[in-house]
């Protein structure tokens, strides 16, 4: 429904534009700062226009080891991507299978399983971080990708969402598939997964961001710079004891760290907006 | 193509509810058997047991010579058409139709050929690329049929396939189902609660009541010789009239004083059944039933009159030719045909024949 009210239009647009400026200003300053040299950033006023370096700072952090980290941003981004992808894909896979079992199979203690999964919602990593650390350390998974990914991979939220979705699938669809000779795996692959495309896309974005933004867990278990994630590295660059903070490198790395989530959102939102518009159920 | 044999088929649901009380039945090769009955009588349960979607608690089910109790639906080689069609929403019409063939590992070329052949048979050629949501109700119904036909199963199972269609389309699809089933010669079981559908489609008809077969026979047998008041009331529209009467040999005396000749020789209280179309208006006479018209429903071809008869609680429904003009309040004299009177036991509702005597004599 659209109303034609010119006064309202102007007010709301002004408001929106203001919000955009407020939100975008820090980003703009980061972009600008990333194009300056370190010395020109320490002249007293924060610059509002591009400096002399252009893309030089970006190329530098991507190719050369960053000071005090001992590794370059390419490696950091790679680590973060592997971790975020691992978490997102793992969470979704496990959630799909768990929800599938709970909704479509009759096995003893089915509801107990469901509630057991459900109450783990109350136990995020932060709460169980010490025991988890101990387990991971004992398994020798400190400083490894599996150590970064596995403790975060189970997701009650996603399981719950998939369960709710599966419950809305008409039971006749399952029966029709059975009559048509589709076994459990075929039904999952040919019918259930295509129908949950929208859910998968939306959850993938959410879970990717969740994995990408993990801070406490990677901070705890990665001591080698080879497994450091980009989010951790930012904090590390800022904690300088003796010399000045290299703002040009920090901002360049920050901007690089923002890119993959943006790319994921842009790519995926097409799927789920499409899915929401022409829902096939 | 196969015969279907049910041997003491019984269903008890996990909550202890007995939905079917041991059915014995043989469905001949190529026959279209219609199962009809009121809501909750176990029609869907029966069909789903035949399909293998519901476990058989007791008894045996044979398709052809093979006992299939333990077989999965796909191994029984049946095809089912669901009430809400249950088409796969994300697959095209062609995709829906070929899915079963694909699962059987039939090569792509052959699949395409079969799907196209079937589509031509049921008039879906131009819709093969559409998604189910881009189809009308009637077209979806056709796709559901096509999906069943393309597999060339031994048995078709239909669970109220037409109940989501409008009246006109229902008549059209009814004819089409009948034509296709005869042409393909596939044994079929068809569940409905619409008695017109049941009468027009069936080779043989089962009337079910609370998990039991009330009567099995051709539509005309059920119409002419209903085994009980339940069947009599279910088959035929408008439903049969039931009157209280007293029988003494071949004379029936109604509470209003009229006397009719009974087709059977019984004594005592009975329930007399007369179909609305078998009440013929006559000149005033002491033998005739004297009624007063209460309400008139002109249907065009026919006119229905609801009339009161002394001593009866329910109004009597009478069917007249559409040309006859009737007014509310008119007095009429009706003479039922002796051969078309039905005599039932007043307590248990079963049909009484000459050899039996009424229980309450
Ligand atoms: N899963 C179940 N557990 C217990 N009782 C059930 C179950 N499914 C069906 N019933 C009962 O079995 C009886 C027969 O059900 P069924 O679905 O076969 O009826 P129906 O004849 O197909 O009715 P309708 O014409 O309304 O479709 C009903 O009384 C129903 O309540
Ligand atoms: Mg039913």
The answer to whether B86 contacts A170, with C-beta atoms less than 8 Å apart, is yes
Instruction: Say whether B4 sits in a helix, a strand or coil.
Output: strand
- B90 vs A contacts (CB less than 8 Å): 191, 194-195, 280
Average per-residue pLDDT for chain B: 90
Model confidence at A45, in pLDDT bands (50, 70, 90)? confident
Q: What is the CATH number of domain A34-278?
A: 1.10.3720.10
Q: Which residues pair with B187 in a beta bridge?
A: B155
Q: ipTM of this complex > 0.95?
A: no
Write out the E strands in chain B.
4-12, 18-27, 32-36, 58-63, 66-67, 78-81, 155-159, 187-192, 204-209, 212-217, 241-253, 259-274, 279-281, 289-298, 302-309, 316-321, 331-336, 342-344
Confidence of residue B343 (pLDDT cuts 50, 70, 90): very high
- pLDDT class for A1, splitting at 50, 70, 90? low
Reported confidence tier of residue B355, pLDDT bands at 50, 70, 90: low
* pLDDT value of residue B130: 92
Helix axes A247-277, A197-212, angle to 10 degrees: 170
How far apart CA B275 and CA B318 sit, in angstroms, is 8
Q: DSSP letter at B350?
A: B
Q: What percent of chain B has pLDDT over 90?
A: 63
Could you tell me the distance, in angstroms and rounded to a whole number, from the CA of residue A179 to the centre of ligand 1? 20
With beta carbons under 8 A apart, name residues in chain B contacting A191: 88, 90
In this prediction, residues B157-179 reach a mean pLDDT of 89
Q: What is the pLDDT of residues A159-184, one digit of tens each?
A: 989 999 999 999 999 999 999 999 99
In contact, B113 and B181? CB cutoff 8 Å: no
**Which of B230, B272, B233 lies closest to B254 in space, CA to CA?**
B272
Give A239-273 pLDDT, tens digit per residue.
765 677 777 788 888 888 888 899 988 988 887 77
Mutual angle of helices B167-184 and B108-122, in 10-degree steps: 130
Does residue A31 surpass a pLDDT of 70? yes
pLDDT the model gives residue A218: 87
3-state secondary structure at position A244: coil
Q: What pLDDT was estimated at residue A280?
A: 47
The whole-number pLDDT of residue B261 equals 87
pLDDT band at A281, cuts 50/70/90?
A: very low
Q: Can you tell me the distance from the alpha carbon of A134 to that of A141, in angstroms, rounded to the nearest whole number?
A: 10
In this prediction, residue A227 carries a pLDDT of 85
Q: How confident is the model at residue A71 (pLDDT cuts 50, 70, 90)?
A: confident
Q: Identify the pLDDT of residue A47.
A: 73
On the question of a common fold for B4-233 and B241-344, the answer reads no
Binding-site residues on chain A for chain B (CB distance < 8 A): 170, 172-173, 175-182, 186, 190-191, 194-195, 280-281
Enter the DSSP assignment of B353: -
Domain ranges across chain B: 4-233, 241-344
pLDDT digits (tens, 9 = 90+) for B12-44: 999 999 999 999 999 999 999 999 999 999 999
What's the whole-model pTM score?
0.82
Reply yes or no on whether the pLDDT at A22 is more than 90.
yes
Tell me which DSSP letter residue B202 carries.
-
**How far is the centre of ligand 2, averaged over its atoms, from the C-alpha of B43 (Å)?**
6
- Per residue in B209-223, pLDDT (tens digit) is 999 999 999 999 999
Shortest Cα distance, chain B CAs vs residue A160, angstroms:
23
Confidence at A277, pLDDT banded by 50, 70, 90? low
What distance in Å separates the CA atoms of residue B67 and residue B6, rounded to the nearest whole number? 10
Residue A109 CB-density burial (10 A; 0-12 exposed, 13-18 middle, 19+ buried): exposed
CATH topology of domain B4-233: Rossmann fold (3.40.50)
CATH code, B241-344 = 2.40.50.140
pLDDT of res. B105: 92
Closest listed residue to residue B208, CA positions, set B224, B221, B225, B195? B195
For residue B20, list its beta bridge partners.
Answer: B11
Phi, psi of A105 (to 5 degrees): -115, 145
Choose, out of A171, A174, A177, A179, the residue to mutate when testing the contact with B (most B CBs < 10 Å).
Answer: A179
Residue B302 is classified by DSSP as E
d(CA B88, CA B34): 27
Task: Give dist(CA B45, CA B197) in Å, integer.
Answer: 20
The values of phi and psi at residue A95, to 5°, are -65, -40
As a whole number of angstroms, the distance between CA A123 and CA A130 comes to 12
Q: Which residues are CB-neighbours of B143 under 8 A, at least 6 positions away?
A: B85, B87, B93, B96, B97, B124, B127, B132, B135
């Amino acid at each position: 429904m659209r109303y034609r009210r010119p006064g309202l239009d102007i007010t709301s647009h002004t408001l929106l534009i203001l919000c955009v400026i407020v939100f975008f200003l820090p980003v703009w300053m980061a972009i600008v700062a990333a194009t300056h040299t370190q010395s020109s950033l320490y002249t007293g006023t924060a610059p509002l226009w591009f400096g002399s370096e252009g893309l030089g700072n970006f190329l530098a952090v991507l190719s050369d080891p960053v000071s005090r980290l001992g590794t370059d941003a390419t490696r950091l981004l790679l680590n973060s991507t592997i971790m975020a992808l691992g978490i997102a894909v793992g969470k979704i896979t496990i959630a799909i299978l768990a929800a599938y079992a709970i909704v479509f199979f009759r096995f003893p203690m089915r509801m107990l399983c469901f509630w057991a999964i459900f109450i783990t919602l109350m136990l995020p990593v932060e709460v169980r971080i010490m025991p988890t650390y101990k387990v991971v350390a004992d398994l020798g998974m400190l400083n490894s990708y599996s150590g970064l990914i596995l403790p975060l991979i189970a997701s009650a939220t996603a399981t719950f969402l998939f369960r709710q979705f599966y419950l809305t699938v008409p039971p006749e669809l399952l029966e029709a598939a059975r009559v048509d000779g589709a076994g459990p795996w075929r039904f999952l692959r040919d019918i259930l997964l295509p129908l949950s495309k929208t859910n998968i896309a939306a959850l993938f974005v959410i879970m990717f961001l969740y994995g990408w933004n993990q801070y406490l867990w990677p901070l705890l278990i990665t001591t080698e710079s080879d497994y450091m994630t980009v989010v951790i590295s930012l904090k590390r660059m800022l904690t300088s004891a003796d010399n000045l903070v290299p703002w040009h490198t920090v901002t360049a790395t920050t901007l690089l760290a923002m890119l993959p989530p943006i790319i994921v959102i842009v790519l995926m939102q097409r799927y789920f907006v499409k899915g929401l518009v022409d829902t096939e159920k | 193509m196969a015969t279907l044999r049910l041997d003491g088929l019984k269903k008890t649901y996990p909550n202890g509810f007995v939905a079917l009380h041991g059915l014995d039945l043989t469905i001949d090769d190529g026959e279209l058997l219609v199962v009809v009955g009121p809501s909750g009588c176990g029609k869907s349960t029966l069909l789903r047991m035949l399909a293998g979607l519901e476990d058989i608690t007791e008894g045996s089910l044979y398709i052809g010579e093979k006992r299939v109790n333990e077989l999965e639906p796909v191994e029984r080689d049946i095809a089912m058409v669901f009430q809400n069609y249950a088409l796969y929403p994300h697959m095209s019409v062609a995709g829906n139709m070929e899915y079963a063939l694909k699962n059987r590992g039939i090569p792509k070329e052959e699949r395409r050929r079969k799907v196209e052949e079937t589509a031509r048979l049921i008039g879906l050629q131009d819709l093969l690329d559409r998604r189910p949501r881009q189809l009308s109700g009637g077209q979806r119904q056709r796709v559901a049929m096509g999906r069943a036909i393309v597999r060339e199963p031994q048995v078709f199972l239909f669970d109220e396939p037409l109940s989501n269609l409008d009246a006109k389309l229902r008549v059209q699809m009814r004819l089409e189902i009948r034509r296709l089933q005869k042409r393909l010669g596939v044994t079929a079981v068809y569940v409905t609660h619409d008695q017109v559908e049941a009468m027009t489609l069936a080779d043989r008809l089962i009337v079910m009541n609370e998990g039991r077969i009330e009567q099995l026979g051709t539509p005309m047998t059920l119409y002419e010789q209903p085994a009980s008041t339940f069947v009599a009331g279910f088959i035929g529209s408008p439903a049969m009239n039931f009157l209280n009467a007293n029988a003494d040999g071949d004379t029936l005396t109604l509470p209003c004083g009229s006397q009719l000749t009974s087709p059977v020789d019984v004594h005592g209280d009975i329930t007399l059944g007369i179909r609305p179309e078998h009440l013929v208006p006559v000149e005033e006479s002491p033998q005739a039933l004297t009624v007063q018209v209460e309400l008139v429903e002109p249907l065009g071809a026919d006119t229905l009159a609801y009339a009161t008869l002394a001593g009866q609680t329910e109004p009597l429904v009478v069917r007249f030719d559409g040309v006859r003009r009737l007014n509310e309040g008119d007095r009429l004299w009706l003479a039922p045909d002796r051969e078309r009177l039905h005599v039932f036991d007043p307590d248990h509702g079963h049909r009484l024949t000459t050899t039996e005597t009424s229980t309450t004599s």
